Structure 1
Amino acid sequence: SEFYSLIPHDFGRSLPPVIANMADLKLKLELLEVLSNLEISQMLQKQEAEKPTGPAVHPLDTHYNMLNTNMEPLSKRGKEYQIIEKYVDNTDGGSKFSVNTILKIARPDEESHAEVLGSLDNHKLLWHGSRLSNFVGILSQGLRIAPPEAPRNGYQFGKGLYFADALAKSVNYCCATSRNPTAVLLLADVALGTPYQTPNGEFLDYKIVNEQRGCDSTHGLGRMAPAENESETLPDGVVVPAGTLKPVAGNQYLLYNEFIVYRLEQVKLRYLVALDF
């Protein structure tokens, strides 16, 4: 097929399998996302190489500058570090990860989000996991919403930015293994405003959520959620749902809560967290 011609695979002497169901299609879409982010990495390196020669710069500094993101390691003795460590320990679903590094990050490009962020309340610090190969693209260009031409299948609550208040949910998207035992996740300040709460998946977008539901985001209800009375609050008022995971009454489809926003401006990346299995 044209897909296998454009994206070579190694099938040996076997015929390429037909992409016959939504599970197979989702895997191929994830592959294309990885390749897209690798392309961004290569493009950034090419742009850097084409710049006029100046004073010698260490290669690590060159790569850091390409990310266009300010990063600062948190002290283990600091309050922020301790809150995030509690968030890890209480929402890991029993997997018992250890915190390797926590970086406080700021993307200059997200300064334009200030107006929307400031206009909404209910700010939460939420998890977003992704493959390590995607982080050059995420840090240099920000999180991205799937384009209109992308198939709508595979998005339980429509095309948006997905977050969770349980590490156990988001860490699955990091695809870490025993051979590559480090998982890297983002913690983002997400302005949820008034969330549309639903126990089941339904295809939504900002127009439906905002105009028809009178809400600003979607909250897919889970059967497990952090205890609210154990939450922490950062100095700027962002709530960290770092409580112990507790069962929630109801017949929810999801195991853990999911939070979806449909506008990039409702998100500000705050921390990069590296975990070891």
Structure 2
Amino acid sequence: MASKKQVTTKLTRAARSKPLNGFKIVICGEYKDENHTHTSLAVLICANGGDTTKHIKSDTTHIFSTQAAFRSSQLIIEKAKGKGLPIIDTLWLIKAQCERTELSKYYLQRPSPKPYGTIEDSRNGKFERKLPLRAKGKEPEHSKPKDDHGLKEYRHTRGTSFKAVVKHNPKGILKGPDFVTPPEAKTRRHDIVKRVQNKKVGFVKNEKLFLAPPESTLPEPVKKLMKLIFNQTNGANATDGHRKNSTCYESHVSRLSLDWQKDLNLQAGFKYLIELEDFISNGDKKAIGYYNTLYHSVIRPEGRGKGPLIDNMKILKEEWERLSNVVHLPKRQFQDLNLKEMAPLDDDSEEFKYIKSYLNVSGGATHELKKVFRIEREGEGERFQAYISPLEHPIRRLLWHGSPVANYGRIIREGLQIGPDEVTASDYNFGKGICLFEMSSQAASYCDYKASEGEALLLLCEAALGYPLKKVTTPSNSAGANTETDSTCCQGKNAFKRFTEGSNKHVNFEGIKIPDTNFGPKPTKVQEAILDYNVFICHKAEQVKLRYLVHVKIPTQAPT
């Protein structure tokens, strides 16, 4: 019979051979370079004692990711960051073979620190900021309250049994006061509370009002998208052909006046305000002057004047609110769009992969795909369904539309509109209607992407073209006039020839005729065609439904 010591030794060896015991892991990213798939990695994890799931759950303990997936801010990564889950480079599993001594080298995000006692440094790492003892629920031994006639008779050896306790909210805001009354004092509670409130004891002396910067509740990809769409410099830089459509253009806007709203500047600004609160409380004039200089070097004042001297709590609170408004601005802008849905697609989903292949095969091979958002405008789906319901052959297609980023606030809020101003940068006129394209490169030419430093947004729209479809070969102002059809196709020299039912690729494409991206455009052999590719004009707004917003980076200079 084995001794107790031998059994313990066997258990210890078993634990060492299963280094992932207790790990509940979500795998993220692509592993072609390592000759692995998610399935093979899941087998490897199970062999080491771990367990895997496809989505983050309440019992998830770790995320295994590639560095590329971590930088791309996928939805899984954003959720993991929000929950403070540790994110580990999967090379620890593949190359380091789960060696615990090597784990620290492979952290992409370490486990989140405890919510109390420290705050993040805005530059590079952490600095310790110890909270006052009362904010941690402890009573300082040396603390003795001043005499107060309303509290005197309830004094005891550790101070007073009636005190203003400051609550600490994990988001960083202190809420005050929560009055704790001893049982023997209940009869006079109302009078005492009233006296204390009249003395304006909102916060215990020397308690911190500002502990950490506010955080936006929007997913990071959506926040970045809002900043791109509502960046006023994009409207200011727009060329003359596009500027009249820019809803956010202001002639006095300069890039310098908006640079302070970048995340790094805001983080530094909040840090300096937190430091200033200490120095204002202590009356340290030299430090106040020095940190004012630092603050105004990263945060520009409103207008063109000199920034205010932040030497009292009133001005400090005003500046804090000013920066907080900028942090929460993307959320307000998103709410103003009145969207029913905006969901960033997972880069590993089949939906994303098809859109990426459609972008590349339709002339966008030089475009860097940054993010795809599935969108739905409020009421637009019902309007589209009402239009196609009586049609025997609606012929639904997935087509591209392009416009400068400065226009997308209006487009997403109001939808694509029928009118001659919709096409502003084209040498051709196709009649009154909404122009849609088979080729992403055609749509990109309308984006004026040089005004936004190569950042461009393309729309993928579901369009009900109907049957029969009027076909023309020469662009003209009257292309859609005198026709009984709701759509016109201006034929090009090349077009997609092979199509497939959308549900073969993804359930969200069901009922849509989509190009087979295994085969590119082929010559149409239309002799009179002038355009290189087909252009479709929808003459009714209800024919078109916005489906996807595609964020791409387009080179502003031709490759040499």
Identify the residue that residue 175 of structure 2 maps to in structure 1: none
TM-score, length-normalised on structure 1? 0.73
Code of the residue aligned with 2:497 in structure 1: it is A
2:244 to 26, 32, 38: 32
Q: For 1:119, what is the secondary structure of its paired residue?
A: coil
Q: Is the 8 A contact 1:127 1:163 kept in 2?
A: yes
- In 1, the alpha carbon distance for the partners of 2:477 and 2:388 equals 24
Q: Aligned with 1:88: secondary structure?
A: helix
**Are residues 1:269 and 2:546 paired?**
yes
C-alpha distance in 2 between matches for 1:224 and 1:205: 20
Residues in 1 aligned to 2:334 and 2:413: alpha-carbon distance in whole angstroms: 10
Residue type matched to 2:431 in 1?
G
Counterpart Cα distance in 1 of 2:436 and 2:447: 13
Moved over 4 A (4+): none
Q: Does 1:198 align with 2:472?
A: yes
- Answer yes or no: is the 8 Å Cα contact 1:117–1:267 preserved in 2: no
Does the 8 Å contact 2:486/2:540 carry over to 1?
Answer: no
With structure 2 as the length reference, what TM-score do the two structures score?
0.37
Aligned-residue offset at 1:207? 6.2
- Which amino acid in 2 is paired with 1:253? I
Within 1, Cα distance between the matches of 2:501 and 2:458?
A: 19
Do the aligned residues in 2 keep the contact of 1:222 with 1:257 (CA within 8 Å)?
Answer: yes
User: Which residue identity is paired with 1:31?
Assistant: R
Matches within 5 A, 1:64-75: 64-69=334-339, 70-75=341-346
Which residue is 1:254 aligned to? 531
Retained in 2: the 8 A contact 1:186–1:272?
yes
Change in 2 beyond 3 A, CA 1:119/1:98? farther
Matched-pair contact (CA < 8 Å) for 2:399–2:460: yes
Letter in 1 for 2:367: F
Question: Which structure has the higher relative contact order (CA within 8 Å, separation 6+)?
Answer: 1
Query: Following TM superposition, by how much is the alpha carbon of 1:28 offset from its aligned partner in structure 2, in angstroms?
Result: 5.4
Among 441, 447, 461, the residue aligned to 1:168: 441
What does residue 245 of structure 1 align with? 521
The residue that corresponds to 2:280 in the other structure is none
Larger radius of gyration: 2
Shift of 1:200: 0.9
Say whether the 8 Å CA contact 1:188–1:271 is kept in structure 2.
yes
Q: What are the equivalent positions in structure 2 for 1:110-189 lying under 5 Å apart?
A: 110=380, 111-120=382-391, 121-146=394-419, 156-177=429-450, 180-189=453-462
Structure 2 unaligned spans of 5+: 1-238, 250-324, 555-560
Out of 362, 373, 379, which is 1:91 matched to?
A: 362
Secondary structure of 1:144's partner? coil
Deviation at 1:156, TM superposition (A): 2.2
Distance 1:263 1:117, change over 3 A: same
Fraction of identical pairs, as percent: 29
Hey, what's the Cα distance between the residues in 2 that align with 1:29 and 1:179? 15
Deviation at 1:205, TM superposition (A): 7.2
Letter of the 1:245 partner, please give it. P
Contact 2:418 2:433 (8 Å CA) reproduced: yes
Match of 1:8 in 2: none
* Residue number among 310, 322, 331 corresponding to 1:61 in the alignment: 331
Q: Which amino acid aligns with 1:250?
A: V
Q: Distance in 1 between matches of 2:496 and 2:466?
A: 19
Deviation, structure 1 residue 29: 6.0
Cα contact 2:368–2:552 (8 A) shared by 1: yes
* 2:105 alignment counterpart: none
Q: In structure 1, what residue type is equivalent to 2:343?
A: E
Structure 1: where are the runs of 5+ without partners? 1-26, 40-55
The 1:154–1:271 alpha-carbon spacing in structure 2 relative to 1, beyond 3 Å, is same
Change (3 A) 1:117 1:180: farther
- The code of the aligned residue for 2:465 comes to L
Alignment partner, residue 110 of structure 2: none
**Local SS of the residue matching 2:450:** coil
- CA root-mean-square deviation: 2.8
Deviation (angstroms), 1:206? 6.2
Report the alpha carbon displacement of residue 178 of structure 1 after superposing the two structures with TM: 9.2
**SS of match in other structure, 1:208:** coil
SS at match of 1:159: coil
Q: Which has the higher strand share?
A: 1
Counterpart contact for 2:471–2:488, Cα < 8 Å: yes
Per the TM alignment, residue 67 of structure 1 is displaced from its structure 2 partner at its CA by 0.9
1:220 to 468, 490, 494: 490
Structure 1 residues 58-82: Cα deviation after superposition (integer angstroms, max 9, x where no partner): 3221111011122001112212111
